[in-house]
Structure 1
Amino acid sequence: MSEELKKRYKHNSNMFIISYIFMGIMSGMAFDALVTFLNQAAPSVAASYSTYMGIATLLTAGLVALAPKLGYKKILISGPVLTILALVLVNVTGNTFVIMFVTLSLLAGVVLFDAILPPFLTQYTSVEERDKVFSRTLYTNVIGMTLATFSGGMLIVSRFASRLGITYGEAKSLSANIDGFTEAQNFAYTLAHKDVLLMFLIVGVLALLPLLLLKEVKADYEVSTEGDTKQKIDWKVLGNKYALLYLVYNFLTRFGASLITPYFSVFLGTLGIDRSTVSTLVTAQYAAMVIFMIFSPWLSKTFGRVVSIGALAALSIPFMLIIGNGDKFGSMMVLAVGIGLFFRSGLMNAANPIVQSLPMEFVTKELRPAYSSIIFLSQAVAQTLAGIFTAAFLFNSAFFGQGGYRIAYYITAVIYSIATIIILTQFTKKFNRPKVKNDKEEAA
């Protein structure tokens, strides 16, 4: 690879990382402030949050599949544009259908970056530095998420206090019992969320700017074809045993995660934890993601990629059960839940850079966008099914109601156990250690 090409590749990687940091801030808002806003303004949308995640993932998977035709740059730019549009609309009207569109647009903008990250960074990195770049990209993104969740709860309480004309401390205490709100308090709390969501408009703009500086050429993404030039998802990748088994693993972990992760803020609220403290706890789990992901390259080098993925997932399971049984710890509930969130999140996400890069080795360069799309299609199905399951059954007041949030942790623990067995028994022998040989993928 020439020095000029290396320089351009590094530039594109850096521009993506910078933009992804700001989209991390947007993601932190989407999984914290947006969820509690929906719980106030459109409870039915909040209960089906995973379904919207699934639909957003489905849409973005389709976009990523078009990368060999459109290029990465055009597709990436659409992400911040969608989030900016959504944040403008949420402050224009409180119509439920508009809120549904806003939710879908925000999630699509955020998820798009996750979907395009594997083929994009694989294209612009060498195999030797790939784990390191993936790790840096992901933990800086989570730093952005941490900033959003840390400030989000405090900003909401601050705006809530301002709208009611009371002190921050009084507003914080009120937010610990949302069910006890008067009509005026409920209205002020909803408007406080809208105020905070509007503040994130500037984040969308900042995420957009680095993408405009990407230096992309057709050779980066174009697939040479003879005759028919029409690009579509190539389902032949499923003929690869490992590509198929990884889809099963990915489906299981995404389904399990979709039962708990979108609802952290709601579940902690049902335990009687005030809104500001909830944001602090969620922030702590994002901080854990950053800390643990920094060690991802070391874990990969020391234990191997597959062993790291499986072992870390297994170790996270006991901490899920601690979170689900947080109220059993009495006066130590907040501490116990905080520890559970910190280590569950840290352990499960420590291997995330490896999880993102590993499947790109199952297929050749020209099939990476297609396979990445298929992975996200499977995630879309998993999230959609999880959303239907939670809304229609698990969180439905006719069945388990609020008790379903606790049961979700037990279900996820079982699912993670099954997924761990699959990844360790099927992938360790062949893919635990990377094989560097005649890698021509950088020379595109």
Structure 2
Amino acid sequence: MKQIDRIIFINLITTAIVSGIFNIFTGIHVKNLGYGESVVGQVLSIGSISIAIGSMINAYLSSKIGFKKTISLGLILMFFGILGVSFFTNPFYIKIFSGLMGVGYGFPFSSVGVLLIENSTEDDRVKVFSKNFVVQSLGIVFASYTGGKLIKTFGKVFAVEKSIPLLYMICAVAILFSFYPLFGLRESKKIKSIKNRNFFKSFKEVMSGQALKFIIYNTIIGFGAGLVIPFFSVYLKFALNIDDEKVGMIMGLSQIGLVIGGLLVPYISKILGREQTVVICQLLSIPFLISIAFPQGIVVLGISFFLRSTLMNLNQPLIQNISLETVEYENRALMSSMVLMSSSVTRALSTIIAGYLMESISYNFPYYLTVALYLIGTIVFYKNFKEKKPLRGGANE
């Protein structure tokens, strides 16, 4: 297995488990246990905050012991975290183990981008990130669809509140497969050379210039995303009365467009430019977000999910690439963590707010706020990155 493929395989397993199953069905699981949207928001927000915490711990530890050991630690924490969520029904323990799951996920999630950029040339970078994005999206499609099918099957035999925990136990076993490519992973000389770098000096360098501007943009988008994305499955299930199998299918369908988009990203960005592609895709996604707030039947809803998700997330390989190029290679692990933290912490806060708004006002209201924040974030990105030039520091540069 090639070095790049090992990194992508680790991302496939961890992201498919977390994004494809855990993030989609945890809200439904908490609701099935009899708790309201406020508790759902608290559980999901703790997960987001803990991802940010894990990414920051990873930024520090990886500079001391290397990515292989920190990713291994992350996988172990994910394993016990998802098992804990499956076994306990008390909301306090669900929050604790959801947090453990998030901390663990923060380790590989914040490492993959750095490993990819350090093992690719500048010319190949967009293609490498796009390949990673396509594989990741396919994993989420498979996980979402299969997860919905398995929950329906389990529901015929067991009580409804037991179906999702059983699925989580299967996920715990799947996480263990990420150790296989990790054993053969080699760290580049550049990564090894930064182990003695002053962490706090790096932090000061990241919180300035273009890097800081990107973090501000990412914070705005993260806050908007947290108002609606964690509740998509809950919205489908409890506001629109769609069963678990169809929820999984719709969420999976929204990922298929990402696969198509991921394949097209290298070509679209060559024509429009990376920064212009990000701006255009984000603006075009907004009408479909509004359409989800005013559903016109399951077919139109599915199409809106498909197009919104495609347009908003098609640019993710470009955004990840752009963010890491705002700093020198010595600071890329920390930058990756700061980007994740800025998004996760604000998403956690907005998820709590969204839970309150949905429970006390309506399921639709947070969508209006998200539209406004997406517009503001896009303007911030355009003003600061329309002429962005990357810093040097990748492989073979």
The alignment's TM-score, normalised by the length of structure 1, stands at: 0.83
- Count how many residue pairs are aligned between Structure 1 and Structure 2: 392
Q: Is the 2:144–2:249 contact (alpha carbons within 8 Å) kept by the matching residues of 1?
A: yes
Please tell me whether residue 159 in structure 1 is matched to residue 154 in structure 2. yes
Please tell me whether residue 34 in structure 1 is matched to residue 3 in structure 2. no
Instruction: Report the Cα distance in structure 1 between the residues aligned to 2:78 and 2:211, rounded to whole angstroms.
Output: 32
> Residues 146-180 of structure 1: CA distance to partner in whole angstroms, max 9, x if unpaired?
111101112111111122xxxxxxxxxxxxxxxxx
| Amino acid in the other structure paired with 1:29 | I
Instruction: Report the Cα distance in structure 1 between the residues aligned to 2:201 and 2:352, rounded to whole angstroms.
Output: 26
Please tell me whether residue 60 in structure 1 is matched to residue 90 in structure 2. no
Instruction: Report the Cα distance in structure 2 between the residues aligned to 1:199 and 1:22, rounded to whole angstroms.
Output: 12
Q: Is the 2:288–2:304 contact (alpha carbons within 8 Å) kept by the matching residues of 1?
A: yes
193, 198, 219: which is aligned to 1:251?
219
Q: Is the 1:314–1:420 contact (alpha carbons within 8 Å) kept by the matching residues of 2?
A: yes
95, 113, 118: which is aligned to 1:100?
95
Q: Is the 2:253–2:302 contact (alpha carbons within 8 Å) kept by the matching residues of 1?
A: yes
82, 88, 107: which is aligned to 1:87?
82
| Stretch moving more, 215-224 or 113-122 | 215-224
Q: How far 1:443 sits from its partner (Å)?
A: 5.4
Partner residue, 1:395? 358
9, 12, 19: which is aligned to 1:21?
12
RMSD (Å), alpha carbons: 2.2
| Stretch moving more, 207-216 or 413-422 | 207-216
Instruction: Report the Cα distance in structure 2 between the residues aligned to 1:286 and 1:49, rounded to whole angstroms.
Output: 24
63, 70, 73: which is aligned to 1:78?
73
Q: Is the 1:34–1:197 contact (alpha carbons within 8 Å) kept by the matching residues of 2?
A: no
Matches within 5 A, 1:190-339: 190-216=161-187, 219-223=190-194, 230-232=198-200, 234-238=202-206, 240-269=208-237, 270-326=239-295, 329=296, 333-339=297-303
| Amino acid in the other structure paired with 2:131 | R
313, 319, 339: which is aligned to 1:355?
319
| Amino acid in the other structure paired with 1:259 | L
Instruction: Report the Cα distance in structure 1 between the residues aligned to 2:268 and 2:29, rounded to whole angstroms.
Output: 38
Instruction: Report the Cα distance in structure 2 between the residues aligned to 1:440 and 1:362, rounded to whole angstroms.
Output: 11
| Amino acid in the other structure paired with 1:348 | M
What SS is found at the alignment partner of 2:111? Answer: helix
What SS is found at the alignment partner of 1:375? Answer: helix
Distance of aligned partners of 1:127 and 1:275 in 2 relative to their CA distance in 1, 3 Å threshold? same
Q: How far 1:441 sits from its partner (Å)?
A: 3.7
| Amino acid in the other structure paired with 2:65 | L
Q: Is the 1:233–1:370 contact (alpha carbons within 8 Å) kept by the matching residues of 2?
A: no
Name structure 2 gaps, 5 residues minimum. none
Which one has a bigger Cα radius of gyration?
Answer: 1
Q: How far 1:222 sits from its partner (Å)?
A: 2.9
Distance of aligned partners of 1:294 and 1:387 in 2 relative to their CA distance in 1, 3 Å threshold? same
Q: How far 1:440 sits from its partner (Å)?
A: 5.3
What SS is found at the alignment partner of 1:442? Answer: coil
Name structure 1 gaps, 5 residues minimum. 1-9, 164-187
> Residues 357-391 of structure 1: CA distance to partner in whole angstroms, max 9, x if unpaired?
10111111111122222222212321222123123
The alignment's TM-score, normalised by the length of structure 2, stands at: 0.92
Partner residue, 2:395? 442
Q: How far 1:324 sits from its partner (Å)?
A: 0.6
Instruction: Report the Cα distance in structure 1 between the residues aligned to 2:84 and 2:337, rounded to whole angstroms.
Output: 29
Instruction: Report the Cα distance in structure 1 between the residues aligned to 2:264 and 2:201, rounded to whole angstroms.
Output: 34
Matches within 5 A, 1:155-194: 155-163=150-158, 188-194=159-165
Partner residue, 1:185? none
Q: How far 1:219 sits from its partner (Å)?
A: 4.1
Q: How far 1:243 sits from its partner (Å)?
A: 1.5
Partner residue, 2:336? 372
> Residues 37-59 of structure 1: CA distance to partner in whole angstroms, max 9, x if unpaired?
12223545422244223322221
What SS is found at the alignment partner of 1:362? Answer: coil
Instruction: Report the Cα distance in structure 1 between the residues aligned to 2:234 and 2:340, rounded to whole angstroms.
Output: 26
Identity of aligned residues (%): 25
Q: Is the 2:53–2:106 contact (alpha carbons within 8 Å) kept by the matching residues of 1?
A: no
Instruction: Report the Cα distance in structure 1 between the residues aligned to 2:221 and 2:241, rounded to whole angstroms.
Output: 29
Distance of aligned partners of 1:224 and 1:63 in 2 relative to their CA distance in 1, 3 Å threshold? closer
